[in-house]
Amino acid sequence: YLSRTVDFDSCEDLVKWEIHGNTNTDHSIRRTSIATYLLRGNHRDIRIEYALIEGSVSAFTSSVSEEHITTFTNQTLELRAVRRISQVFTIDYQSVNHNSFHYEVD
């Protein structure tokens, strides 16, 4: 006999959230990213305790799709301190779409 229960009284609100980022493919560039976030909180307060974002960019160097140069990135964010925000703030900016990609190889 096997049973499973969840003790909601001692449970902490913890979520592991994984996102497969934008995959962009065209005739000369392929890029992708995967992000993992560790979120803790409830419906009023939430914080990102840890984030790992891994990605790659492949630039095809000729018309043959087997020849390419690939770079890999790894960004890790770790929570060092928690402070309650005393007032709501806004960031005023205009978003910019970049439709080109510049890649240099020496």
Going from N- to C-terminal start, the domains of the chain cover 14-78
Q: Which residues of 67-93 are buried (b: 16+ CB within 10 A; e: fewer)?
A: eeeeeeeeeeeeeeeeeeeeeeeeeee
Q: Which is nearest to 50 in space by CA: 11, 29, 78, 25?
A: 78
Tell me the mean pLDDT in the region 2-24.
Answer: 61
Q: What is the pLDDT of residue 24?
A: 60
| Segment 32-80, tens digit of pLDDT | 888 888 888 776 777 888 888 888 888 888 776 678 888 888 988 887 8
Write out the two tokens for 46. Answer: 């939430």
Compute how many other C-beta atoms are within 10 angstroms of the C-beta atom of residue 31.
19
User: Higher-confidence residue: 24 or 103?
Assistant: 24
* Encoded tokens for 40: 């803790």
